[in-house]
Structure 1
Amino acid sequence: MLFKRIGYFTSVGCMLVIASCGGNKQQPAAQGPAPAVPVTVAKVTITDAVYFDEYPGTVTALNQVELRAQVNGYITGIYFQDGARVKKGQRLYSIDQQQYEANYQQAVANLAVQEANLVKAQKDADRYHELDRQDAIAKQQVDNADAALEASKKQVDAAKANIRAVQTNVKYSTIYAPFDGTIGISQVKVGGPIYAGQTILNTVSSDHPMAVDFAVNQQELYRFVQLQQQGTKPKDSLFTIAFGNDVYPQPGAISLIDRAVDPQTGNIKTRLVFPNPKNMLKAGMTATVRVKNNTATASVIIPYKAVVEQLGDFFVYAVTDSNTVTQREVALGRQIGTDVIVKDGVKAGETIVVQGVQNLREGSKITTAPPQQPGAGAAPAKK
């Protein structure tokens, strides 16, 4: 009985295996050609590539000085508004002059005493010389009188020098603007103490024109030296600066190139000068220096979005006569806005895919027809 059951289950298992194998022999359904990928294409063109080389720059004043007192004392007056324009020689600060005025008066009085002593010494010397001619006085007394006269003259000179020194201190007790420019926010208040050579009162900087400093690699030095020697016209836009997307309306010119290249960076400082009539440029601002490429040549230009990057290499999809695409490796140049210069890989007049490149591969079929709206049926037949 047991053997009959085993034979029965074995027969059923074999029938199931045969049925399963028979199912695998069914032919797969035939697949049609891959649908065309909708893309946007554009012609490769040639144009004169005009672009700007860009460098980070810093706006700086041509003249800038920190105001420091040269005498000790207390601030007695401030004669300007913070941030105002000042003129050369304009009074800015005054320091307590009482002590220096008293020293000056004392120096003047001392000079008067020394001049009186000089008069007395001169008379004594004249009298002794007269007695010496009459052989009525010892020679030593005459020599002593001459020595006293010379000492009195030196004391008068010293008294005059002391007056000049005290006058200098009196002069230094008033701070004047060293040149035309803009003054900053005062660092001291009326009544505050200041110390000679230590306390910074304020900073004055020139504001028209303004300079912009930027670093140039030594490999570009020859080009910039030529630009400096050629000069620029007043309305030339060879040198401009930008702040984000805003370009400063006034063009600049090369003012100077530093004397030496920094051996650590290989760069050399270059300075541009820009007019600043509306005081839009402030010292310390960061800007992008834009140097116009003045050697424009015909270049192959394509939209940058047509480029595909793969492991550091760049490719585009060129359209063939059979409405398929082939992948081309390209050598890129400088990017100009939304376009890029192509040095090698495509030629003018060829058609490349601009949009839809992410859905393509080598040999893909493409279509440039607009995609059909979902749910749109076929147009009804005319009766």
Structure 2
Amino acid sequence: MNIKYIKLSIFILGSVTLASCGGKQAPPQGPPPATPVTTYTVGEQPVTTVDSYPGVVVPLNEVELRAQVGGYITAIYVKDGQRVTKGQKLYEIDRTKYQAAYNSAKANVAVAKANRDKAKKDADRYTKLAQQEAIAKQRVDYALTDLANAESQIAAAQANLASAANDLQRSIIVSPLNGTIGISQVKLGALASPGTTLLNTVSTNDPIAVDIPVNQSEIPRFIQLEKNAAAVKDSLFSIQLQDNSIYKRQGRIIAIDRAVDPQTGTIKVRISYPNEAGRLIAGMNVNLQVLNKLVGDQLVIPYKAVTEQLGEFNVYVVGDSSKASPRIIKVGTQIDQNIVVKSGLKKGEVIVVEGVQNVRPGAVVHAGTAAEANGQQPAAAGAKK
């Protein structure tokens, strides 16, 4: 009897307890707290950017030295890589046969002139005798023909002499310009064939040029830079060398190629630079930096406001009710810590700058301090730093 009473009491007590617990309902949950961020109002400003182009240093004049007459190399007058001047002797080809040919041609001219003198005397004498009717007129005709032939022999002999003189002169190779000679392609005693054997290469050093490929869409801009001297000063064609140092001298556009390369869609632009110290060497790869003043004001936003996913650039735009929505934008040139926006935003719109990593699409945000946006707790009042 006592046991039944105890069980019944426990059951009633448990029921009362459950009833009392079930009678109270939990209060409804409120909306999630707003995410702290820092914001930026999109605005326009004049933009100056620096465009970079891969460039190659090229000489303004370069000449391959090839033998114009055949023979063995008997002398080399310069060292590899030496500075040379126009007309300076560089190589000599065996001159023996060319000197002999010149001497022979010169002697033939003398013989032809002697024959001409004799023929002239005969023609004069026969002409006088014919006037006295002392000889037949036919004899005079023969004498005048011999004189004409003698004159022709002189012309032929003089032509041979000029050819021999040219060959003799070409047996000594001289520099066609002021510049630097390269490493010799032949050694002393080597056999040189006319027109085929490359002896060396000479190129100019100062001024020198840099060739850059320019996209065809930029051709009008570079044409203006070529024509407008004031614009050239503003363009600041600066060369960045491989050691990241900047070449201090400024250049100017001297040529734009005649046609666009259909394979690459680019055109070659040549820029000339002073090169007194010889820092620029033909064949060097450089980075050409061109100052670009964009036309009109551009939309500029902080670069840290932009996120990239799968090649698309996004920002969070704060709209009605302080809700943040992602938006795809197209970006332009980065300028220090900012970036140009080509499309996707309008002037006056508000975007999230700091705290982007904490924002979700449709989340409510509120503008706070940078520390709050980055998830840092603000310091308590009166706390020591």
Question: For residues 36 and 154 of structure 1, what CA distance do their matches in structure 2 show?
Answer: 110
User: 1:76 is matched with which residue?
Assistant: 74
Q: Is 1:177 the equivalent of 2:175?
A: yes
Change (3 A) 1:336 1:194: same
% same residue: 49
The one-letter amino acid of 1:117's match is N
Mapping of 1:1-383 within 5 angstroms?
47-232=45-230, 236-243=234-241, 245-262=244-261, 266-295=265-294, 297-310=296-309, 312-317=311-316, 325-343=324-342, 344-345=344-345, 347=347, 350=350, 352-354=352-354, 357-362=356-361, 363=363, 368-369=371-372
Deviation at 1:309, TM superposition (A): 2.9
Change (3 A) 1:267 1:85: same
Asked whether the equivalents of residues 179 and 206 of structure 1 are also in contact (C-alpha less than 8 Å), the reply is yes
Name whichever of 43-52 and 178-187 sits farther off: 43-52
Change (3 A) 1:43 1:81: farther
Deviation at 1:233, TM superposition (A): 7.4
Question: For residues 47 and 88 of structure 2, what CA distance do their matches in structure 1 show?
Answer: 52
> Deviations 1:234-287 (Å, cap 9, x if unpaired)?
854432333464433222111122344456655443322122222122222333
Change (3 A) 1:69 1:338: farther
Change (3 A) 1:310 1:194: same
Change (3 A) 1:72 1:43: same
Change (3 A) 1:295 1:279: same
Change (3 A) 1:246 1:174: same
Deviation at 1:199, TM superposition (A): 0.6
Question: For residues 36 and 279 of structure 1, what CA distance do their matches in structure 2 show?
Answer: 63
Name whichever of 281-290 and 132-141 sits farther off: 281-290
Number of residue pairs aligned between Structure 1 and Structure 2? 350
Change (3 A) 1:167 1:192: same
Question: For residues 108 and 163 of structure 1, what CA distance do their matches in structure 2 show?
Answer: 6
Aligned-CA RMSD value: 3.7
Question: For residues 265 and 231 of structure 2, what CA distance do their matches in structure 1 show?
Answer: 30
SS in 2 for 1:114: helix
* Structure 1 unmatched ranges of 5 or more: 1-25
Deviation at 1:195, TM superposition (A): 0.8
Question: For residues 320 and 236 of structure 1, what CA distance do their matches in structure 2 show?
Answer: 41
SS in 2 for 1:83: coil
SS in 1 for 2:293: coil
Name whichever of 334-343 and 106-115 sits farther off: 334-343
Question: For residues 183 and 32 of structure 1, what CA distance do their matches in structure 2 show?
Answer: 84
Deviation at 1:159, TM superposition (A): 1.3
SS in 1 for 2:225: helix
User: TM-score if structure 1 supplies the norm length?
Assistant: 0.77
SS in 2 for 1:49: strand
The one-letter amino acid of 2:353's match is V
User: 2:19 is matched with which residue?
Assistant: none
Question: For residues 158 and 233 of structure 1, what CA distance do their matches in structure 2 show?
Answer: 61
Asked whether the equivalents of residues 62 and 211 of structure 1 are also in contact (C-alpha less than 8 Å), the reply is yes
Asked whether the equivalents of residues 300 and 348 of structure 1 are also in contact (C-alpha less than 8 Å), the reply is no
Change (3 A) 1:100 1:319: same
Change (3 A) 1:233 1:38: closer
Name whichever of 297-306 and 141-150 sits farther off: 297-306
Deviation at 1:331, TM superposition (A): 3.8
Deviation at 1:97, TM superposition (A): 1.0
> Deviations 1:168-200 (Å, cap 9, x if unpaired)?
111111111111111111111111110111111
User: TM-score if structure 2 supplies the norm length?
Assistant: 0.77
Asked whether the equivalents of residues 43 and 352 of structure 1 are also in contact (C-alpha less than 8 Å), the reply is no
Change (3 A) 1:234 1:345: closer
Question: For residues 41 and 113 of structure 1, what CA distance do their matches in structure 2 show?
Answer: 103
Question: For residues 358 and 243 of structure 1, what CA distance do their matches in structure 2 show?
Answer: 39
Asked whether the equivalents of residues 186 and 202 of structure 1 are also in contact (C-alpha less than 8 Å), the reply is yes
* Structure 2 unmatched ranges of 5 or more: 1-21
Asked whether the equivalents of residues 54 and 289 of structure 1 are also in contact (C-alpha less than 8 Å), the reply is yes
Question: For residues 159 and 143 of structure 2, what CA distance do their matches in structure 1 show?
Answer: 25
Deviation at 1:305, TM superposition (A): 3.7
Question: For residues 266 and 304 of structure 2, what CA distance do their matches in structure 1 show?
Answer: 34
SS in 2 for 1:294: strand
Asked whether the equivalents of residues 181 and 205 of structure 1 are also in contact (C-alpha less than 8 Å), the reply is yes
Name whichever of 356-365 and 106-115 sits farther off: 356-365
Question: For residues 31 and 247 of structure 2, what CA distance do their matches in structure 1 show?
Answer: 57
The one-letter amino acid of 2:288's match is V
Deviation at 1:299, TM superposition (A): 3.1
